[in-house]
Amino acid sequence: MSQSIVPSFSTAIHRPRDGYPQPVHSPDINRSLNDSLSAMQHSHSVRPSGGRWAAAVLWACLPLFTCGLATPVTIGFAAYWLRNVWHFVAACVYLVGIGSFMISAVSYAEFADIPEPLAVMVTLGLLLSWCGGGVHSAFLVPHMVRARLRATPPPPHRPMEVHRRTTSPGQHHRPRPGQPEWVGHYRVVRELGRGGQGAVYLATAPNGTRVAVKVLHDLVDEMARKRFAREVDAARRVATFSTARLLDVSISGQHPYIVSEYVDGPSLEQLVKKHGPRDEDGLTRLALATAGALAAIHKAGIVHRDFKPSNVLIGHDGPRVIDFGIAKALDQVTMTTGKMVGTPPYMSPEQLSGETVGPPSDVFSWASTIIFAATGRPAFGEDTVPAVFNRLLTVQPDLSPLPPALRAIVGACLNKRPDERPSASDVMLAIVH
């Protein structure tokens, strides 16, 4: 029953395993849910051609062919192409060396007339630009060849599906047909998941860090792109305590994308299904960390809107909350399509009734998630969607499996009235006292 009506970004930030939520379609709840799955526009993989390699090698030889005079231009172009500030600094250093040579050549008729300190500077600058620039350019050749994404028109619509990993960590990875090799400046390693909002890839950043990249396809209107950028920018300001940071976003071009920190670990949902409910100490630490994450998210002016076990990852340094801000951003873009954002067993009463969704909604979902961690079962059952919704609106779940220290605060968070629930900060204080 742990199912998601709109695909979650959680598949982006951890390795795919069994237990991912699948879409639910219920005509008893909303006919338009049948339209909530759409196609993903994806880019075809591009292998570097011999011509591109030849062009890159020729580019790298320019400093040698020009006695270093072209070095500032070649390295400056590389800095722009690779979006690397250090290459830009190097280009400036080369420019100073070449500039000193040119000024001296114009100012003095004979080299012997140049003052000795300036002559040394001119000689070193010319050698640096000539030899150093040649070596620097040669080093950048493979990076320049691959730093490009070529996109092709999208394929026909297809239903949502999640692709599980098919290679072991030690095996050589081959891109799937239609999978891009690059998204912006991020080299794609493999596809992690695919859904109605886009496709998710494990990728490598220019500095070698592993990241999760979600490529979207719904942002066709310019106003929608700007609104989406504002929402994601707010999410990037969230304090990093127990959250997975949003690192980058691009809304230009045919394929807008979001880049997030990659958390290598199972979700809470996967962990509980595999190893059973958490013990008292583990549950208390989980409750405190996730409540703190929600407090930071709410302080940034963001409502998560889809807090659930699969959006809590258990990394080597503890729980991390993911997907914050993305659900709202996507909902802002597609709010006229009739899609419902949320996962039925972890939605709040106000989400079901169409009322304004604020921080109290996340607090309700947090309490439902803690009950799942303590019992291994959703707080409001996992049978049919209408039955779950009915219990969610009318029934108070059993709190006896929770540690005594958590029962009162979890019960308060499950109040059907949003204005009577504690804030995430209040939840933190209640747990530690």
9-23+31-44+152-432: in CATH 2.160.10.10: no
Phi then psi dihedrals of residue 202, to 5 deg = -80, 130
Q: For the range 167-170, what are the long-range contacts, defined as Cβ-Cβ under 8 Å and sequence gap of 24 or more?
A: none
Read off the pLDDT band of 159 (50, 70, 90): very low
Are 2 and 378 in contact, with CB atoms under 8 Å apart? yes
Read off the pLDDT band of 326 (50, 70, 90): low
Question: Does residue 285 register a pLDDT over 70?
Answer: yes
- Give the pLDDT confidence score for residue 75 in this predicted structure: 79
Q: How many angstroms separate the Cα of 71 from the Cα of each of 24, 59, 225, 312, 340?
A: 58, 10, 38, 49, 55
CA distance 269 to 292: 19
- CA 43, distance to chain mean position in Å, is 18
Instruction: Of 203-212, 250-259, 324-333, 339-348, give the range with the top mean pLDDT.
Output: 203-212
Read off the pLDDT band of 216 (50, 70, 90): confident
Mean pLDDT to the nearest integer, 68-94 = 75
User: Poorest-confidence range of 19-28, 111-120, 204-213?
Assistant: 19-28
At 111, list the tokens. Answer: 């080299």
CB-based contacts of 84, cutoff 8 Å, min separation 6? 78, 206
Q: Please tell me the pTM assigned to this model.
A: 0.57
Read off the pLDDT band of 217 (50, 70, 90): low
Read off the pLDDT band of 96 (50, 70, 90): confident
CA distance 252 to 241: 30
Catalytic residue among 306, 323, 331, 362: 306
Using alpha carbons only, what angle is made at residue 197 by residues 255 and 48, rounded to the nearest 5 degrees? 35
Instruction: Of 36-45, 166-175, 279-288, give the range with the top mean pLDDT.
Output: 279-288
- Give the pLDDT confidence score for residue 322 in this predicted structure: 83
pLDDT in tens, 6-18: 334 443 444 333 3
Mean residue pLDDT of the chain comes to 73
More confident residue, 75 or 32: 75
- Give the pLDDT confidence score for residue 140 in this predicted structure: 72
CB-based contacts of 260, cutoff 8 Å, min separation 6? 9, 12, 13, 211, 212, 213, 214, 244, 245, 246, 247, 322
Mean pLDDT to the nearest integer, 157-163 = 32
pLDDT in tens, 227-254: 777 777 777 777 777 787 888 888 777 7
Look up residue 256 and give its amino acid.
P
- Give the pLDDT confidence score for residue 158 in this predicted structure: 33
Mean pLDDT to the nearest integer, 403-409 = 95
CB-based contacts of 85, cutoff 8 Å, min separation 6? 79
Question: Does residue 71 register a pLDDT over 70?
Answer: yes
- Give the pLDDT confidence score for residue 109 in this predicted structure: 56
Residue 218 known to be catalytic: no
- Give the pLDDT confidence score for residue 141 in this predicted structure: 66
Please report where in the chains the tokens 């390699």 appear, as a residue.
Answer: 53
Mean pLDDT to the nearest integer, 123-140 = 71
Instruction: Of 31-40, 99-108, 148-157, 294-303, give the range with the top mean pLDDT.
Output: 294-303
Are 193 and 200 in contact, with CB atoms under 8 Å apart? yes
More confident residue, 318 or 41: 318
User: Poorest-confidence range of 138-142, 158-162, 284-288, 362-366?
Assistant: 158-162
For the chain, the C-alpha Rg in angstroms (whole number) is: 27
- Give the pLDDT confidence score for residue 175 in this predicted structure: 54
Question: Does residue 134 register a pLDDT over 90?
Answer: no
Q: Where are the domains of the chain?
A: 9-23+31-44+152-432, 50-146
Cα Dmax for the chain: 95
Mean pLDDT to the nearest integer, 35-52 = 41
Phi then psi dihedrals of residue 314, to 5 deg = -100, 95
More confident residue, 347 or 34: 347
pLDDT in tens, 416-433: 999 999 999 999 999 998
CA distance 134 to 219: 43
CA distance 313 to 293: 12
3-class DSSP string for 282-299: HHHHHHHHHHHHHHHHHH
Q: Which strand (E) or helix (H) includes residue 233?
A: helix 222-236
- Give the pLDDT confidence score for residue 335 in this predicted structure: 39
pLDDT in tens, 308-320: 998 898 988 889 9
Question: Does residue 46 register a pLDDT over 70?
Answer: no
